[in-house]
């Protein structure tokens, strides 16, 4: 299954990010190397949040990441939540539905 994790940044995110960025990125690349984190990054214009795509058997893979993330631990992420995402199209879809199967 795919899971989207949404981060909402605090007002001081850009000022405080440099202090925690290396540790945050190390955590992200480790999760990627394990095959859990598929894509992730900050939203732009404005930089007020981020979206991270995870792949796993349950939302715990994303929740575990957030609980260990220095951005969350140090309060520069003011809120985060995870949503299951039913992916149906594309080479990495977890529930592929082809046109002839659509009802």
pLDDT per residue as tens digits for the range 59-90: 999 999 999 999 999 999 999 999 999 999 99
Q: Does a structural domain hold residue 44?
A: yes
Q: Which residues contact 102 (CB under 8 A, 6 or more apart)?
A: none
Per-residue pLDDT, averaged over 43-54, amounts to 97
pLDDT at position 100: 83
Give me the percent of the chain exceeding a pLDDT of 90: 95
Peptide bond into 31 cis (omega under 30): no
39: left (phi over 0), alpha (psi -120 to 50) or beta: beta
Q: Is residue 37 a contact partner of residue 53, using CB atoms and an 8 Å limit?
A: yes
Q: Is residue 51 a contact partner of residue 37, using CB atoms and an 8 Å limit?
A: no
pLDDT at position 101: 60
Q: Does a structural domain hold residue 74?
A: yes
As a whole number of angstroms, the distance between CA 32 and CA 43 comes to: 19
Number of folded domains that form the chain: 1
The domain of 72 spans: 2-89
pLDDT at position 79: 98
**Residue 41 belongs to domain with CATH number:** 3.30.70.1060
- What is the pTM assigned to this prediction? 0.91
pLDDT at 94 over 70: yes
């Amino acid at each position: 299954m795919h899971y989207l994790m949404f981060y909402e940044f605090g007002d001081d995110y850009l000022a405080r990010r440099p202090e925690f960025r290396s540790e945050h990125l190390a955590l992200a690349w480790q999760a990627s190397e394990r095959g859990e984190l598929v894509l992730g990054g900050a939203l732009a214009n404005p930089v007020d949040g981020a979206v991270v795509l995870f792949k796993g058997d349950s939302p715990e893979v994303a929740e575990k990441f957030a609980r260990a993330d220095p951005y969350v631990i140090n309060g520069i992420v003011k809120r985060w939540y995870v949503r299951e995402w039913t992916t149906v199209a594309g080479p990495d879809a977890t529930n592929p539905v082809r046109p002839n199967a659509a009802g």
